[in-house]
Structure 1
């Protein structure tokens, strides 16, 4: 039987975590899925430890990333997208735990609401896996190109592994394989810019494991590959938003601020170069940037005085 949902999971040297992750997927109350495990050239015994699952549950398929795709998470996910058979796509990481009602809840909502995707909530943990809760589903946000500011600024946060997508969302879109961080932020923004519509619900259906070897931990530890990738993703998002003619002054202000936060003058110059501004407007934004440190310091001072 053709699977309704394709789960795509990139993996790299996670033999110590992945079995627990796959077992949580086996506990899904919605059973018509395939789980594509794409190995990124790992050197540990991942295939050996998951072999019993592969032998006994034909919904799970282990593949090694081919040379057609670049090494890294985006390349593995693109490979998975190219071989996926399901009508819906979801990405899971190889070290997390999935709520048993995850797929069942999402497939019902996405079909009932007739939307392109459904985003949900996650909960972090380090050692002890949180207990599952089955709360009443509440729609928190409607997502479309009209909310692009909230998506880009992450006021509406769409995390990497917390969205069920209609496969049509990836009909002409793939992950940027040159990005090693913030690749989902850049990719998902492009999907929404293509007028795809979705919702975000309140339900916690995913538990992400916190440990020092994750991409996010490496970024906050100032790993140069992750940080440079984030800068590239900033420029890609700016370029894509401008091409759709939805770059508001408010959104451009955000890009200037995020470039400033990197303390990278080249990035700031690239942001200004990417957007063709008239001379008066360019002067205004240059002034805005030059005075930004003083205004940030003033805002912090006022907050401290207000607290006292």
Structure 2
């Protein structure tokens, strides 16, 4: 097998009921110079039985994460990165599905030698996937470049970069890896860190990844106030704040964003930890304390005014 252009890394744990669809979507790619590295986190279901037929295609590789690596998807992604041979790296979740043209379109964009990554649009689906979604092929011509000037939009989710919605040039990642400690919001922290390092990308306004939503997803658990996921989101926020503060990229509006975010993490003391992390004067600390204290009242008044207008 010649050296592949794209390395797809799939972390998986007990996804025997879903992973086959993800692997089939890889087989359906119009661009065929790829390897797919499946990193199993010691599943106790029949994942290996489901994956085995795919291994007849030598582009698929299956390995169990060795002892000594941290538990979780992030450590699996990092391990897969170490094993990868491709020029480009793509992290795909074991329950998501990619459009047949995903790799072809992104490789074409990488002809711009100045870019480090290619981002595309993501949509979600519930229950069973309808392949008719692939028929809706209309690319918005509003393709644009992304760099660290977009960092605020990336962080506040005006321009979200999800785990599976971007392909990276491997050498551009350097020594940066996912945080093994984060069990939620890892791409929010990692990808904003990469862009803040100065990496540049291009955006394709085309849905090329279909993310499955179900009751076992991390997002569902976070929305249900699962302690582990909420705690991870708080830690991710702190890591982002520390990173931006160190690079002198923590603008007033970003400080305001994270202070507002901390309202939802009162029992986790996120506000106090943010204030102790950023280097600001005593006067500025008092101003942010006042802002934080009266913010819930302002939000309540806003909701009342909005309800009256309706």
State the alpha-carbon separation in 2 of the partners of residues 294 and 26 from structure 1. Answer: 53
Kindly indicate whether the alpha-carbon contact (under 8 Å) linking 2:234 and 2:268 is maintained by their aligned counterparts in 1: no
1:263 offset after TM fit, Å?
Answer: 2.5
Residue 140 of structure 1 and its aligned partner are, at CA, apart by 4.8
Q: Residue in 2 aligned with 1:40?
A: 41
Task: Map residues 38-187 of structure 1 onto 2, 5 A cutoff.
Answer: 38-54=39-55, 56-112=56-112, 114-130=114-130, 131=132, 132=134, 133-187=136-190
Structure 2 Cα separation of the partners of residues 111 and 100 of structure 1: 20
Matched-pair contact (CA < 8 Å) for 2:11–2:41: yes
**Residue-by-residue CA offset, 1:114-133 (whole Å, 9 max, x unaligned):** 41111111221123423202
Shift in CA distance, 255/107, structure 1 to aligned 2, threshold 3 Å: same
- Which of 253, 262, 269 aligns to 1:250? It is 253
Structure 1 residues 1-44: Cα deviation after superposition (integer angstroms, max 9, x where no partner): 00000001000001111112111110100000000000011101
Distance in 1, Cα, partners of 2:185 & 2:144 = 22
Cα offset, 1:265, TM superposition: 5.6
Distance in 2 of aligned mates of 1:201 and 1:263: 38
Distance 1:265 1:288 in 2: 18
Given that residues 139 and 199 in structure 1 are in contact (C-alpha distance below 8 angstroms), is that contact kept between their aligned partners in structure 2? no
4+ aligned runs moved over 4 Å, structure 1: none
CA distance in 2, matches of 1:265, 1:76: 28
Distance in 2 (alpha carbons) for counterparts of 1:202 and 1:264: 39
Query: Are 2:114 and 2:200, in contact at CA under 8 Å, matched by a contact in 1?
Result: no
Contact 2:118-2:204 at 8 Å conserved across structures = yes
Coordinate RMSD, CA, aligned: 1.3
Q: Secondary structure at the match of 2:276?
A: helix
Q: Which residue of 2 aligns with 1:25?
A: 26
1:200 match: 203
Q: Which moved more, 1:259-268 or 1:185-194?
A: 259-268
Q: Distance in 2 between matches of 1:171 and 1:46?
A: 32
Segment of structure 1 superposing worse, 225-234 or 198-207: 198-207
Q: Distance in 2 between matches of 1:265 and 1:38?
A: 33
Query: How far has the Cα of 1:168 moved from its partner?
Result: 2.0
Partner of 2:219: 216
CA contact (8 A) 1:39 1:63 kept: yes
CA contact (8 A) 2:127 2:214 kept: no
2: CA distance between counterparts of 1:37 and 1:168?
21
Alpha-carbon distance in 2 for matches of 1:102, 1:265: 40
1:149 Cα deviation after fit: 0.9
Larger CA deviation: 65-74 vs 2-11: 65-74
Instruction: Measure the CA separation in 2 of the matches of 1:88 and 1:265.
Output: 38
